[in-house]
Amino acid sequence: MAASAATSSQAPAGQSASFFSEGDGHAVLMLHGLSSSPLELRYLARYLQSEGFTVYAPVIEGYSAASAELPMERWVEGAVREFDALAARYERVSICGLSIGGALALRLIRERPAAQALVLLSLTLAYDGWAIPWYRFLLDWAYFTPLRHRYRYREAEPFGVRNEALRKKIARSMQRNDFSEVGPSTISLAALHQASRLARAARKEVAAVQNDTLVIHAIDDETSSPRNPRFVIDRIGANFLRTLWLDDSYHMITSDNEREIVARETALFLRESELARGTQDAPGQPVVSKALARRLRQLAAVGRNRT
């Protein structure tokens, strides 16, 4: 399938806009973080596009920014619809989730276990990072009080990024628009409550996930501690599991100092997953990116040296 130019829906500043670019027969459904937008995934999406993948980062009603809040079950339904639309057109569909989008990806892949692979970036099953205020655990209780309609959790520095220049840019954007490339300046109590429900549901089914899985997480993540990915790493049923720990990023690893590493390793993993399964259930030769070809040559050289 010939690659086409990337397209995105038009939206006012501070609102969500989907991102789509057609490449080969391997499509990647990309799920952004809570109450945010596909802007969080723009760099990764463009990199995957350059590696030949079909990429789609949708706006999900009730989950994305600038949409009416809905129960988390509706988020899952929306993600399933987007997956099915891709699966009807492309040979393979992988799922990539960032932050709470990782929890959504875990729930989605249980609904659609035929997915090629799963990528979990800064997985958030609990808000337990070092920058989360001590009273965070009280917010689930506050949801059942009159605060439900009044309280909004306000984002503060470091805004998920270690890069100081980017952090200043984000602060200016949030002052002007209450929104930035790494998400909104505030999140409603209702959205946080639904996110907690989603995370609890995702945790219950981790062991049943058998799809190839890549986990990338920053060791200094200020929003979700390494306990989040370790929960999955220790329990997931995947035979092909790769874990990458970053040491120069905070939560928003798709925008921070190591975004190039995140993008490169995601593309490499997806092609390796495709290559591993390609001889079994796909006719012809699987597509091999230049990066994958280099890695395979390196592995072969290491093997020869050891023998």
Model-wide pTM > 0.75: yes
pLDDT score of 128 more than 80: yes
**For range 262-289, the mean pLDDT:** 73
End-to-end CA distance of the chain: give it in Å, rounded.
Answer: 41
Instruction: Confirm whether 171 is domain-assigned.
Output: no
What CATH number does the domain containing 280 carry?
A: 3.40.50.1820
**Helix, strand or coil, per DSSP, at residue 31:** strand
pLDDT of res. 163: 79
Instruction: Confirm whether 45 is domain-assigned.
Output: yes
Cα–Cα distance for residue pair 157/294, rounded to 1 Å: 39
Instruction: Confirm whether 285 is domain-assigned.
Output: yes
**Would you tell me how many other CB atoms lie within 10 Å of the CB of residue 51?**
23
Report the sign of the C-alpha dihedral through residues 200, 249, 23, 55, in that order. Answer: positive
For 202-223, write each residue's pLDDT tens digit.
Answer: 999 999 999 999 999 999 999 9
pLDDT score of 294 more than 80: no
Number of domains in the chain: 1
Instruction: Confirm whether 63 is domain-assigned.
Output: yes
For 153-195, write each residue's pLDDT tens digit.
Answer: 556 567 678 877 877 777 677 666 655 565 565 677 788 889 9
Question: What is the phi/psi pair of residue 25, to 5°?
Answer: -80, 5
**For range 88-111, the mean pLDDT:** 97
The structure tokens 């079950």 sit at 73
For 36-78, write each residue's pLDDT tens digit.
Answer: 889 999 999 999 999 999 999 999 999 988 777 889 999 999 9
Instruction: Confirm whether 178 is domain-assigned.
Output: no
Cα–Cα distance for residue pair 44/47, rounded to 1 Å: 5
Instruction: Confirm whether 158 is domain-assigned.
Output: no
Question: What is the Cα gyration radius of the chain?
Answer: 19
pLDDT of res. 9: 41
Q: What residues make up the domain containing 54?
A: 7-134+193-306
Instruction: Confirm whether 227 is domain-assigned.
Output: yes
Q: Are 229 and 202 in contact (CB under 8 A)?
A: no
Residues 6+ apart with CB under 8 A from 78: 58, 60, 61, 62, 63
